[in-house]
Structure 1
Amino acid sequence: MTKPIYIHGSGCVSVQPTFEAGYFFDHVTSYTQNPVPALDPDYKAFIPALQLRRMNKSMRMAIFASRMAMQQAGITTVDAIITGSGLGCLRDSERFVEALRTDEGSLLNPTPFIQSTHNMAAAALALSLGCKGYNMTYVNNANSFESALLDAMIYLTEHPAATILLGGVDELGERTTQFWDLANYLKRDDATIPTPLIEQATPGEIATEGATFFVASQEPGDHTFGKIRAVETRLEVDAPEIFISGFLQRNGIEAETLDAVVLGYNGDSRYDEIYRTLGSSLFANLPQIAFKHVVGEYDTVVAAALFLALGIFQRQHVPQRLLLNHSSIPPILRRILIYTQRRGQNHSVILVEK
């Protein structure tokens, strides 16, 4: 049986300035486009300029976010690196396939192929840190980060003295987003961030990108933000309320003992009804918090929800822009549940405590 893990540092690169010192969603950058690329921090603060030129965006974001987390935790080395990525280094994948099609398999540049694999960001992290320990990347659609989180909990149960980097990263591609548009996954004329939710929701999502990393161990410390008590995923769920209630029951708590719930509303009217139903039943008396309407949608975006939950514990403050209802917020926030799904599949719940 796995044990809770403690988070000592976090870093996030997204379409909001989450990498800026002191930023916590009190103001939100607006966009009127789809897809929306992540904001670029000063990568040179952590990555030498010569190396930076050779890195794709996934690698850059992952290294920057992980170094932020390590700086916050006050460490310089880790024993293992565990990541999740739904689409990996997508731009290099597209570049290689385009070259293969154009040149008919001759005179191919091997670099895009080498850098197209899903584990390239984790490999770049290991090289930059000199980490020769356990290194694993999980590719499981919109449950990729949750899969990495579960492995992190198992790894730390087996290696209680270890300190690890845990994270999720995904980048946008040009061709892939065109395919998503053809499949009617994306919003078109009404594409905005912040994305209107609930009554104003329309079909489609806002595609974005980002990287969020955490320093984790099995023991609390002086800089501990919170602990992850449990995680569970399901590809398909007939009744989300039963799935979540069962998860809470298996962990010995009642919905009424939660202080808040973070829900994955993304403004897609075809699937947000799942959250709305839960918000009027199981979570009716709880403060409900949204996050995808300001950071967009990508496979590992739930890592940004965990970043948000830990920030709420640290500050004991819920940004007004993210609140969905008017339920009173407890004086001390100690327990938050995160629930997300994407396009009606890949359901997940994460229980986070102060």
Structure 2
Amino acid sequence: MIKPIYVHGSGSISIQPTFEPGYCFDSILSFAQNPVPAYEPDYKALIPAMQLRRMNKSMRMAIFASRLALQQADRTAVDAIITGSGLGCLKDSERFVEALLAEEGQSLNPTPFIQSTHNMAAAAIALVLKCKGYNMTYVNNANSFESALLDGMVYLTEHPNDTMLLGGVDEAGERTTQFWDIAGYLKREVPTIPTPLEGAATPGEIAAEGATFFVVSGQPGARTYGKVTAVETSLETDDTVVLLSRFLQKNGLDADAIDAVFMGFNGDSRYDGIYRNLGHSLFPATLQLGFKHLLGEYDTVVASALAIALQLLNEQRIPSSLRLNDVEPKELKRILIYTQRRGKNHGLILVEQ
């Protein structure tokens, strides 16, 4: 039986200043563009300048976020690294393909190709930390982080004394977002962060990027911030109410046992109705929270939602910018995170104190 995993530290880079100490969405950065680049820290504070010169954006974000998580957990090393990434080091992938076309396959610089693979971020973290243990990257579209989380739970069930870094990272590429725009994925009418929801929603999403990492283990400790007790994914489903009801039932819970539910409202009028239906059907008396309207949409943004949920469980304070309704829970002990992207890749994460 898969056991819960305990989170001892987290670090996050997103389009909001989530890497700043104590930040909890009381002040929000606004944007009027699509895609939205990450709000980046001074990487030199945690990464030597000579190393930075050789890193692409995904690697920088992943290493910085993982170092923040290690600092918070008061650790310097881990036994394993598991990462989720929907698109990998996208800009280097685009750069290599463009060079391939321009040079007709001749005299190519191999560096963008070497650094374009999805597992490059996890490999870079391993090199920096000198971690020679288990290293895995999951590439399952918008379920990439949940897949990494599931593998982490399996690994720590089998290795209960180990500690690992577990996270998700995705960057926005210029060419790819142009293709998404042509395909009709992106919002064209007033693409703003915070993104209007409910009646003001319009078709399309706002693409973004970020990296969030956690130090986790199979045992609680002095610096434990919370635990992940269950994770589930589904590529497609005919009825999300049934999906969530079965998930809760499998874990011995009902809707009333959930103190708050994070849902991935992103302002896309074509798919936000999925969340709205769940809110009305299962969670009308439960605190409902959002995160994509502030962080944008990318394949592993749910990792940021997990970091926020852990922060709320510890601080017992709910910023108004995250609220989707006015329900006041007596106490935050158990939070459910549910997200999907474009009607597919449904993911569920159960987080507890």
TM-score range (shorter-chain normalised) is over 0.9
Q: Secondary structure at the residue paired with 2:223?
A: coil
Q: Secondary structure at the residue paired with 1:229?
A: strand
Q: CA RMSD in A?
A: 0.5
Bigger shift: residues 180-189 or 101-110: 180-189
Q: Which residue of 1 aligns with 2:107?
A: 107
Structure 1 position 327, deviation (Å): 1.3
Q: Which residue of 2 aligns with 1:345?
A: 344
Structure 1 position 40, deviation (Å): 1.1
Matched, 1:196 2:200: no
- What amino acid maps onto 2:350 in structure 1? L
Task: Could you list the structure 1 runs, at least 4 aligned residues long, displaced by more than 6 angstroms after superposition.
Answer: none
Contact 2:189-2:202 within 8 A present in 1 as well:
no
Q: Which residue of 2 aligns with 1:44?
A: 44
- What amino acid maps onto 2:289 in structure 1? I
TM-score by length of structure 1 reads: 0.99
Q: Deviations over 1:246-299 (max 9, x none)?
A: 000001011101101000000000000000001111011100000000000000
Contact 2:267-2:293 within 8 A present in 1 as well:
yes
- What amino acid maps onto 2:201 in structure 1? A
Q: Which residue of 1 aligns with 2:93?
A: 93
Contact 2:264-2:339 within 8 A present in 1 as well:
yes
Distance 2:169 2:324 in 1: 27
Q: Secondary structure at the residue paired with 2:135?
A: strand
- What amino acid maps onto 1:248 in structure 2? L
Q: Which residue of 1 aligns with 2:25?
A: 25
Distance 1:157 1:325 in 2: 37
Q: Deviations over 1:299-342 (max 9, x none)?
A: 00000000110010111111111100111222x21000000000
Contact 2:6-2:224 within 8 A present in 1 as well:
yes
Q: Which residue of 1 aligns with 2:251?
A: 251
**Gaps (5+ residues) in structure 2?**
none
Q: Which residue of 2 aligns with 1:271?
A: 271
Distance 2:316 2:189 in 1: 37
- What amino acid maps onto 1:137 in structure 2? T
Structure 1 position 54, deviation (Å): 1.0
Q: Secondary structure at the residue paired with 1:280?
A: helix
Q: Which residue of 2 aligns with 1:181?
A: 181
Structure 1 position 46, deviation (Å): 1.2
- What amino acid maps onto 2:309 in structure 1? A
TM-score by length of structure 2 reads: 0.99
Q: Which residue of 2 aligns with 1:66?
A: 66
- What amino acid maps onto 2:338 in structure 1? Y
**Gaps (5+ residues) in structure 1?**
none
- What amino acid maps onto 1:75 in structure 2? R
Q: Which residue of 2 aligns with 1:126?
A: 126
- What amino acid maps onto 1:352 in structure 2? V
Instruction: Give aligned-pair identity as a percent.
Output: 70
- What amino acid maps onto 1:243 in structure 2? L
Instruction: Please give the residue correspondences for 1:92-241 in structure 2 after superposition, counting only pairs within 5 Å.
Output: 92-241=92-241
- What amino acid maps onto 2:340 in structure 1? Q
Distance 1:173 1:318 in 2: 33
